[in-house]
Amino acid sequence: MQSIKLSAQKRGEFGKKPTKAVRRADRIPAVVYGQGEPVSFSLDVKEVKPLIYTPNAYIVELDIEGRAERAVMREVQFHPVREEILHMDFFRVSDSKPVTIDIPVRITGNSEGVKMGGKLVQNKRKLTVSGMLKDLPDELVVDITTLGIGKTIFVGDMQYDNLRLLNPASTAICAIRVTRAAAAAAAAAANEKK
């Protein structure tokens, strides 16, 4: 799995005034927790953008004033109006314990249903998986080559080595929907056979 490095400054003061001062300095208050004591720190807004504004999933390698931490991003809080990042939560990971993370889905193949005039609809862009750090892929590949019109691929249909999918089995990943053109072509084909 891909990783991204972020350098951070440890925070010593808490409360409204110190937090506002951190944000005015173009930094984001953040915390890393799990498997030990929580550590509060701040990150540069520009450094965080490649982590936030991407469909990819990353293992984050934090350098908190010389202290190294490996983590996954758990939550990002945004200002409701200004789209400004208010706070970030990270969860520590280790090689010996399973990691839960959202991994992007990549659709491959040329569907039979699309060739017949259907429309591909992707319902899930990411799936939540649990697995050891060494087994986590950069993306989950879903092959739609044999998918016909009106057919759907569900989470329960997918199997990946050494990974456990945490989304409900009945969650639709993608489907081929009937379009008006495909319905008209099917009706015309049925009329020609008569």
pTM for the complete prediction?
0.78
pLDDT score at 165: 94
Percentage with pLDDT > 70 across the chain: 96
Q: How confident is the model at residue 186 (pLDDT cuts 50, 70, 90)?
A: low
Query: How many CA within 13 A on the CB side of residue 97?
Result: 11
The answer to whether 142 and 157 are in contact (CB under 8 A) is no
pLDDT score at 126: 93
pLDDT score at 194: 65
For 131-182, the pLDDT digits (tens) are: 998 898 999 999 999 988 889 999 999 998 899 999 999 999 999 998 777 6
For 29-47, the pLDDT digits (tens) are: 999 998 888 888 999 989 9
pLDDT score at 23: 84
Residue spans of the domains in the chain: they are 3-93, 100-193
Which positions ≥6 away from 52 have C-beta within 8 Å? 76, 85
Is 101's pLDDT higher than 70?
A: yes
pLDDT score at 182: 66
End-to-end Cα distance, the chain: 56
CATH top-level class of 100-193: mainly beta
Is 125's pLDDT higher than 90?
A: yes
CATH top-level class of 3-93: mainly beta
pLDDT score at 170: 94
Helix H, strand E, coil C: the string for 83-139 is CCEEEEEEEECCCCCCEEEEEEEEEECCCHHHHCCCEEEECCCEEEEEECHHHCCCC
8-state DSSP, 26 = T
**CB atoms near residue 168 (< 10 Å):** 9
Average pLDDT, integer, range 91-100: 90
